[in-house]
Chains A and B, each alone.
Chain A
Amino acid sequence: MAKTEIRIGGLGGQGVILCASIIGKAASIFEGKHATLIQAFGPEARGSACSAQVSVSDSVIGYPYVTSLDILAVMSQDAFNLFAPTIKPDGILLYEEELVKLNDRLPSGIKAFSIPATRFAEELGRRLVLNIVMVGFFAGVTKLCSFEAFRNATLDSVPKGTEDLNLKALQKGYDYGAKLL
């Protein structure tokens, strides 16, 4: 497998970094691949633009930054506007449909998949698990790693006592994504 370059974008406080971390962890710890995670954040703790770059490969990764974006997952309009133009021609866009409206910044030919992740999170009882729904959605659409790897990475990453809720969120996003294909 060639290197897969992923960017997750959103706002500070949405759990963007955790989302990216679970993807990286699923690949590097639970599926035996190589993965790097680089995060970029502004000085503000909340509400600022926040993004993370994840590279996944079967071989050692040298350059850890995204040069040719395969998959973009966004949870805010700003992140979409900023990063959508950088998706490579046959790349994939995953977006939260209540927080992001597509516009002409999306290059033609990109496969775009949307999910009402905020609504799903609210239905599960905690709006906070939006990011885990997005991880599930990412897993279901991209099949970058096995569901088992994503499940283990999630369990390894969320606070004790919240495992059930987060696994439900993961499953919900995964099922929704898998059905879209």
Chain B
Amino acid sequence: MKADSSGVLTGVHFMDGDHAACEGALAAGCRFVAGYPITPSTEVVERFAARIPKVGGVFIQMEDEIASSIAIQGAVWGGKKVMSVTSGPGLSLMMEHIGFAVCTETPSVWVDVQRCGPSTGLPTQPAQHDMQQIKWGSHGDYEIIAISPNSPQECFDLMIKAFNLSETYRCPVFFMMDEVVGHMTERVEIPAADKIEVTPRKFTTKAPGEFKMYATTPDDLVPEMVKAGDGYRIHTTGLTHDERGYPLMTVAVQQKMMTRLIDKIKRNAHKLVDVRMDNCEGADIVVVSYGITSRIAHAAIDEARAKGLKVGHARLIICWPFPEALFREMASKVKAFVFPELNMGQMVRELNRAVVGKVKVVSVPHAGGTVHEPNTILNAIMEAAQ
């Protein structure tokens, strides 16, 4: 369906990533945000607090990120599209509720404007420190989706994609920004509402009594949904549950529930590949990157090409699920991968796992606080080429 025009600020703007992310959420139909202030993400909720009274919806500043990350889930079951916004320390407090959203299949968008950790770290400086935390930080096995924008324009465009994927797969979708993308201002073009495609919630058409909370078919592992107040008298729980949503704590039910929760993402992993390829065909070296680092890598790649090297660039838009199959195939065609990240080497673990020793993988870690010098990445490309 098309976006609701009341939330779409159509026009050309000079806007930072935090503000653009908020506009993306509004355009995607987000009408409830619960948040807690934390640098460098605060501008997202500040803008939402200012905008939502004129659109129709609610912003509430909760007492902490634990509360924010569960209040949004209550709001989903009341019928709204929702988002919460935070940065590292707040994300750490949200961990338990990632699992609750996974287990109860509550579509929700979680924005993380990453800063340096561990602990309070460097609050106003960029990093990509939380890439593994979102995937493994909540207890138990689970699958999530994560998207990484590299510009204010992408903060708008990809935010709509984040909301749409969360509705399609009924899972938490993480929007992994960083301080630079959040605070960098650029031209942002917001199209007319009728040019924006939004995915509606998968509400059931079954009558109460016919509807089962978590019933799925072999072809479609994502159940239909209802909201509170519509007469379905639903029950949902973070306990292991059966198709009715009732807690049923047996090994068989656990096996069935877990398998479906994992498979609904894994079996669709091929649809969740979004890698922007730049001259990867015939390249000797492929630089892999995401978020702000992709822009820095771009500058380094230009210089390497000027030196005559055949360098491709594979930029991850969707970081989780990691596009394993794509890199496994690419590994037989290239000499090496170079993977700069604003962390000590997080997503490079996934790349290493995907290519299991077939080809050289050069990690270009950075402790964070600023972005790489393009020269550092250039040197890694030169080293990999030898």
Contact = CB atoms under 8 A, between A and B. Distances in A.
B80 interface: no
Interface in B279-297: 295-296
Contact of B184 (A28, A29, A37, A153): A37
B186 A62 contact: no
Contact of A28 (B14, B296, B302, B370): B14
B29 to A, nearest CB: 27
Contact of A36 (B124, B184, B298): B184
A36 B371 contact: no
Nearest to B125: A40
B186 A28 contact: yes
Nearest to A64: B184
B299 interface: yes
Contacts of B183: 38-39
Contacts of A35: 14, 186-187
The A interface, classified by DSSP as helix, strand, loop or mixed, is: mixed
A28 B302 CA distance: 23
Nearest to A22: B14
A29 B295 contact: no
Contacts of A119: none
A29 B185 contact: no
The B interface, classified by DSSP as helix, strand, loop or mixed, is: mixed
A62 B298 contact: yes
A168 interface: no
A87 to B, nearest CB: 20
A25 B298 CA distance: 24
Contacts of B14: 21, 24-25, 28-29, 35, 37, 153
Given A29-B14, A63-B374, A24 B185 contact: yes
A33 to B, nearest CB: 9
B180 interface: yes
B147 to A, nearest CB: 20
B186 A36 contact: yes
Interface string B189-221: 000000000000000000000000000000000
B187 A34 contact: yes
Given A37-B14, A37-B186, 20 more contacts: A24-B14, A24-B185, A25-B14, A28-B186, A28-B187, A29-B12, A29-B14, A35-B14, A36-B184, A38-B180, A38-B185, A39-B183, A61-B295, A62-B295, A62-B296, A62-B298, A62-B299, A63-B371, A64-B180, A65-B371
Which 9 residue pairs spanning A and B have beta carbons closest together? A37-B185, A62-B298, A25-B14, A28-B187, A63-B299, A62-B299, A62-B295, A38-B184, A36-B186
Interface of B: 12-14, 16, 124, 180, 183-187, 295-296, 298-299, 302, 370-371, 374
